[in-house]
Amino acid sequence: MSADLCFVPAVELDRLIRSGDVSPVEITEAALARIDRLNPALSAYITVTAELARAQAREAEGRARRGERRGPLDGIPYSVKDLEDTAGVRTTYGSKWLESNIPSADGAAAGRLRAAGGILLGKTNTPHFGHKDMSDNLIGPPCRNPWWRDRTSGGSSGGAASAVASGLGPLAHGSDGAGSIRCPASLCGVVGMKPSAGRVPYHPNPDYWAARSHNGPITRTVRDAALMLSALAGPDPRDPMSIDAPPEDYVAVCDGDLRGLRVAWSADLGYLPVDSEVRAITEAAARRFADLGCAVDAPALGWPDMREPHRLIWHVGVAARQQDRAREHPDWFEPSLMRMIVDAGRISAIDYGRALLARAPFYQAVGRFFEDYDLLLTPTMPVAAWSVEPDSAAVIEGHPAPTLLERLTFTFPFNLTGHPAVSVPCGWTRAGLPVGLQIIGRWHADAAVLRAAAGFEAIQPWADRRPSVD
C-alpha cells in the first residue's frame, strides 16, 4: 500500500486529502520510506529534509481537519532542484564551493511551493551550477536512471526526473536553461515542462536579462504538471522578465480537445542527427495526433542553425560566473566545466555579441512558422540515456556526442526564443529505455501545449509503467 501511494498522481492525492481518505502524514511517510530505501542507489536527492517534511505534513493535516487547506497542493510532497535557494535547507548548487550553504530566504519558485502548503522532501541532484546535461558533481555520487542504473538520468534536473520516475515524490521543481527539464524527463520517462519565458519568475537570478533559464514542473502525468504550474506561475516584480498576467487554471485547460489544430512534425529540424530508433518512435507518436483530430504535416522548416551561437552564449555565460572560482580552486572543478571556461576565454567580444544578435532573426523565423501552425512536434532528445559515468559520450548513429552541444539540439532553440515546450513519454527502445516527444507551442501558449500533451496522454498513456527499482 505504501509503494502504491507513492505512485498516486498529485491531482488524486488532492482529492483523497479533501475527502479524508488519506492524510498528508501518511503520504509523506510513504514517500520518505521509499526515499530511504531507494535513494542510496539512485542518488536522486542530495539532501533529504525528513524532519522538516514530517513537521510540514502535521501542519497540513491540521489544516485539512479544520477545512483550511491553502489549495490543491496543500499536504502534497514535492522536491526542489538544488540550484534553487531554499530557506533553512542546505542548497549546494552541486558545488564544493557551496557544499554547506544554507540560504536565509527562498527563491521565487521554492517560496511559492512552500506558500501553497506542499511538503518539502528535499533537494534533488544536479551538476555543478547546472552546467551540463548529466547530474554528477564533486560532492556526491552521480544520479542514476531508474530504468537502467548504469545510465544517466540526464540533467541538469536529473535528480528531479529520477525521483519522480522512481516514486520518490509526485512533484518536482526543475529549471531549464538549454533543455534541463525536458532532457531528464525524456531520459527518465516522465513529463517535463519548460513554460514560456517569464511564466514562472526566476529569482534570485545572476542574469535576469538573458531570459533563457525557466523554472517548471517535472511529474508523472500531464495534469500533475498543470497543477504544479498553477502554483508556480504568475508575476513577481523581483524578476523584471516575469509575465505580468495571472496564471490560468492549467488543470482545467487540459480537458479541451485538439480538433482542427494544425500540427507540424520535424524529425530533425532539417539538419540534426537522430538515432534511428528514437526517430521511428517519435514519428509514430507524432502521427497519432491525427487520431486526435489534428492536421499533421511535415514541412521543411528552413530555420537558421543556432548550434554555434548557442555554444558561444552558453560557454561565455558559464565562464563569466565561474572563472574567478576556477582560478582560486581548480581542483573543485570538473573537466567538463573547466573546458567550458577555457573555451570561453578564446571567444572574442565581437563574436559573443554576434551570437546574441543571432537570437532575433531566429525568433522571427520561429514566429513566422507559428503563423501557419499551432504546434510543433520533435524528438526531445536525439538519443536515449547513455552511460552514467562522468564525461561519457552518447552515440548517435555511430558517432560520439560527447557534450550537451550535441545532445540538447532539439531543446535549447526554445530557450533562445522563450516558447513553451513540454516533453512527454512516447515509447521505449528495444533495450527498455524511455523516449520523449517534445511539444512546442506558440508565444505564451502554455495552455495549448498542456492541452496537447494531455490529449496525447489520453490515447497513449504511460504513467502505469514503472521502472524496476524495488
Give Cβ neighbours of residue 42 (< 8 Å, ≥ 6 apart): 143, 144, 146, 149, 162, 163, 166, 168, 469
Percent pLDDT > 90 in the chain is 98
79, 175, 180, 213: the active-site residue: 180
Helix (H, G, I), strand (E, B) or coil at 114: helix
Active site residue 162: no
pLDDT band at 327 (very low <50, low <70, confident <90, very high): very high
23, 153, 156, 336: the active-site residue: 156
Domain limits, CATH 3.90.1300.10, in the chain = 2-306+358-459
Give the pTM: 0.98
Statement: residue 150 has pLDDT above 80: yes
- The average pLDDT across 263-272 equals 98
pLDDT of residue 2: 63
Length of the chain equals 470
pLDDT band at 468 (very low <50, low <70, confident <90, very high): confident
Q: What is the mean pLDDT of the chain?
A: 97
Helix (H, G, I), strand (E, B) or coil at 319: helix
Q: Are 186 and 154 in contact (CB under 8 A)?
A: yes
Statement: residue 359 has pLDDT above 90: yes
Per-residue model confidence as pLDDT tens digits over 167-181: 999 999 999 999 999
Active site residue 180: yes
| Cα angle 412, 388, 49; round to 5 | 85
pLDDT band at 469 (very low <50, low <70, confident <90, very high): confident
Does the domain formed by 2-306+358-459 have CATH 3.90.1530.10? no
Statement: residue 162 has pLDDT above 70: yes
23, 43, 81, 166: the active-site residue: 81
Statement: residue 1 has pLDDT above 60: no
Whose cell is 574567478? That residue is: 324
Per-residue model confidence as pLDDT tens digits over 7-55: 999 999 999 999 999 999 999 999 999 999 999 999 999 999 999 999 9
Joined grid coordinates for residue 49: 529534509
The backbone region for 464, taken as left when phi is positive above 0, alpha when psi lies in -120 to 50, beta otherwise, is alpha
pLDDT of residue 91: 98
Whose cell is 531520459? That residue is: 187
Give Cβ neighbours of residue 46 (< 8 Å, ≥ 6 apart): 82, 90, 92, 94, 122, 123, 124, 125, 126, 139, 140, 159
Per-residue model confidence as pLDDT tens digits over 392-425: 999 999 999 999 999 999 999 999 999 999 999 9
